Structure 1
Amino acid sequence: MLPRPTRQSYNVPAGRHDWLLRPTGEKDWQSGSVFYPYGTDGRGQYLLHHGMDIVNPMGTPVLAVADGEIIFAGSDDTQAIGPQTHFYGNVIILKPDRTLGDYPIFCLYGHLSRIDVTAGQRVQAGQVIGAVGMSGIAMGPHLHFEVRFAQNDYYHSVNPELWIVPLPGLGNIAGRVLDRQGRELENHPIAVYRIQQPDKVWREAFTYIQAEGIGPDPAWGENFVIGDVWAGTYILKTKVDGQWLSATVTVPDGETVFVVLQPASP
């Protein structure tokens, strides 16, 4: 276990800020990959993920998630938008008008097949700004959607699932997994069960890998998110310091619930 990289503390309102639209339309797939969410590496198969991947066919329209200004639109062949050039391929970065407290956010769309906007252009929420592709480093057509907080760089990412509006009938589970001393555990497995089938694992999640550029949301302080779950009751189980922990959580429609899993001090 490594100490979490130091991040500046931000004075922001606590709680929900899920006011971004989904970056793909209602007729297209709108949820991120369950296998490869923010802050994970797909069980060691992929690069550490700074956003969410939304899989759709090549050419599927992508949408502005908020009113704002396009501050970058083009290829990353010569300018590194990620950790290196030729990484995100065709990229759009939108700076929404709305902020969190006094801090701006930046929304990145990566691996596009088409770009329909230019830098400096004003856009409205829901406007088509490009299309799904697989440019840059990508395995199959999908949209990489990334939210950057306070600064527009690769090392200020936050989990986009806490920023996008919940889909009808769905919500999120966010939380922290800690050891007895209160230290965050990285890449730590969490088994998720639906209350209707308490003996069958429904989904497996992992806490964030601790690395530069991956960190908690300034308003939530989480180290894991289980996004787009159906409204209902779930059981979360994990083993910490040799002790099995369990928490039962009920997710209301359109809400994010927060849970802490930590063994009691001896």
Structure 2
Amino acid sequence: MDSRQSKVIEKIEKAGLLEKHNQLITQGCTNPWFNYKLLKEYDGNLDQVIVVYNQHKKNQDEQSAKALKIIETMGWLNKNQELMEKGFNKIKQNLKALLRTEGDVAKSIEKLSNKKDLKTDQPIEQIIEQHGFKVQYEKLKEMGYDNEKRIVRLLLKFNGNLEQIIDKLLNGKQGKHRQCMKREGKCQKDKTSQEFQEFKQKKIEFKKKLHQLEQNGIHRHKAVKLLAILNGDTDAVIKWVNYVKPQAKAETETQQEQQVLTQE
């Protein structure tokens, strides 16, 4: 287990969700970060998490199928197979790499390897040494760029070209400056204020009410509207829906009977 996985397991344990996480693993949901995110989002409801997980997997499979179709159309099935044999089994990423390199397998492997390096638990210094970017790395550090992960990412992206990297870094700073200028004069939220804390609490309560109404078969959008109309009273919303549904059904049946009689 690498440090990234250890970190999320600690979060899961701290949130008291370890048992449910283990249950999800037995159900085939093996991504700890995704498990943590969904368990938090759905208040530990395993059934809902599994439904969302399965839908996510279905979407991924569909995207992979589309990517494979494009690869086939481009005549790159053999090239994709080469990448798969090298351990790059994400078809969508393979397609992106092949498109960026105009079907060059060697360059695609290089790009995918660089991306893989950043996702590993390998020390930054080791990655730098491995790719021969020590001089450029030290130079950027001397210039005051101290975000090591970003430096490594840019070195890999631009193959150690300092001119392109510095240009990218400078443009990035200008972009941030422009965003700050746009925000000038606007009221910034004080997240420590009582007002913000009350708002945050109300938001949590509102989410719980929505969840309760969804459990009662009320569509989310409809639930939002009804909560607004009925001053956030979930019981009133449920009563209203239960009262309206039979009426609507009865009216529909009456209309259908009238149509049948008319036809006769």
Q: Which has the larger radius of gyration?
A: 2
TM-score, structure 1 normalization: 0.21
TM-score, structure 2 normalization: 0.21
RCO higher in 1 or 2 (8 Å CA, sep ≥ 6)? 1
More helix by share: 2
More strand by share: 1
